[in-house]
Amino acid sequence: MASKDPYEILGVNKDATPDDIKRSYRKLAQKHHPDRNKGDKASEEKFKEINGAYEVLSDPKKRQQYDQFGEAAFSGGGGDGSQGFPGGFDFGGFGGGFADIFETFFSGGQGQSSRGRTREIRGEDKETEITISFEEAAFGVEKELKINRIGECEVCKGKGAAPGSKIVACPTCHGEGEVKTVRNTILGQMVTRRVCDDCSGVGKRPEKPCTSCSGAGRVRLADRLTVRVPAGIQDGSTIRLVGKGDSGMRGGEAGDLYIRVTIQLHKLYSRKNSDVYSIQEIALVQAVLGDEIIIKTIHGPVSMRIPAGTESGKVFFLKGYGVQKLKSTNRGDHFVTITVKIPTKLSKKEKELYLQLAKESGVNINEEKGFFKKVMGD
């Protein structure tokens, strides 16, 4: 049977960097781990393939040998097609085997030896989203979330054993956490080690599995959490709640919860960083003569002076009336863009006053063809 390419198994190109290989391995190993796929033989075999492929590609010398000689670099010349990995690859025969690789990744480098000792596995991170109003983002808010996650079984406290029962040595591996196979080849005796399928490498198993979690030590939960959204948060920001993701396995720490924040659009205001922007319409006479007007801000109404001769498009700012800066007590500013409203309909009295104003200004208005003829219909 033709051998499977370790690059193909991990889903990477032959020019993949060590980091690319590591990321792909971790993702696939998590997906096909026996603890997640109890009784699934196909997933179990895939898990073995993934670990075997990683053992070759993570070792620069073995990777170079494979790139140069292909499967012949590891087949030992036996040619019987029965050595460990499909097609003659004995990826488990290089010493530590993929149990050590698995331990390195999923214990965070802090697990103990695979032989009869528990290896902690960190829980997965979770992601969710919340939507808040413009004002909630400006002043901060507390939000209650409902999150589905995997939590510690309260019945067995994460141990996987029924109350009153014991944790005993695995009868398959005799507490070693791995199964050793010795083979004689033309190169001599070769020892292969693999993670014990019955205890997933722990070396121990419940004498009587917990009926609540079926011995997994974890159950699916629908939790309600309260998250504090800080004042000044930006649209698209992410809040991290440490330890609020999935619970870890065998005493491993819980993953984290990442919350993406979306801020709703406001009908009056827009925002850039900590500054607030709005548009204020004023009458033509206010622009010409000047006035004092009231501006609506997120902090309440504020009086603002409009100087005489203000043109449409003029921008004023109210210092300190913007959004509180993140992790600070300082605030941004509120910028107001003025638009001058030009009247489209005039009363007879208004027309007379504008004509008088034009005359005083030395402007000759052609009433038959001009603006007033059109708007008054004379």
Residues 243-255 have pLDDT tens digits of: 999 988 766 788 9
Counted residue by residue, the chain has a size of 378
Average pLDDT of the chain is 81
pLDDT at res. 95: 38
* Band (122; pLDDT cuts 50, 70, 90): confident
- Token readout for 262 is 């979306």
Mean pLDDT of 24-37: 82
Q: Say yes or no: do domains 125-157+214-264 and 270-376 share a fold.
A: yes
- CATH of the domain spanning 1-118: 1.10.287.110
Asked whether the predicted pLDDT for residue 23 surpasses 60, the reply is yes
In CATH, what is the architecture of 270-376? Sandwich (2.60)
Q: How would DSSP label each residue in 174-195?
A: TTSSEEEEEEEETTEEEEEEEE
Cα angle value 248/104/169 (rounded, 5°): 65
Taking each helix axis from N to C end, the angle separating 18-32 and 41-57, rounded to the nearest 10 degrees, works out to 160
Over residues 134-148, the pLDDT tens digits come to 999 999 999 999 999
- Listed by start position, the domains of the chain span 1-118, 125-157+214-264, 270-376
Q: Percent of the chain, pLDDT > 70? A: 81
152/233: higher pLDDT: 233
pLDDT digits (tens, 9 = 90+) for 288-309: 999 999 999 999 999 999 999 9
pLDDT of residue 369: 53
Residues 6+ apart with CB under 8 A from 101: 25, 51, 54, 55, 58
Q: What is the largest CA-CA distance in the chain?
A: 115
Predicted model pTM: 0.56
Query: 181-227 pLDDT, tens per residue?
Result: 888 776 667 778 888 877 777 788 888 888 888 888 888 988 899 99
Helices and strands in the chain: count of H runs, count of E runs: 10, 15
Question: Beta strand 275-283 with 334-341: parallel, antiparallel or unpaired?
Answer: parallel
Fold for the domain defined by 125-157+214-264: HSP40/DNAj peptide-binding domain (2.60.260)
C-alpha to C-alpha distance for 354 and 358, rounded to whole angstroms:
6
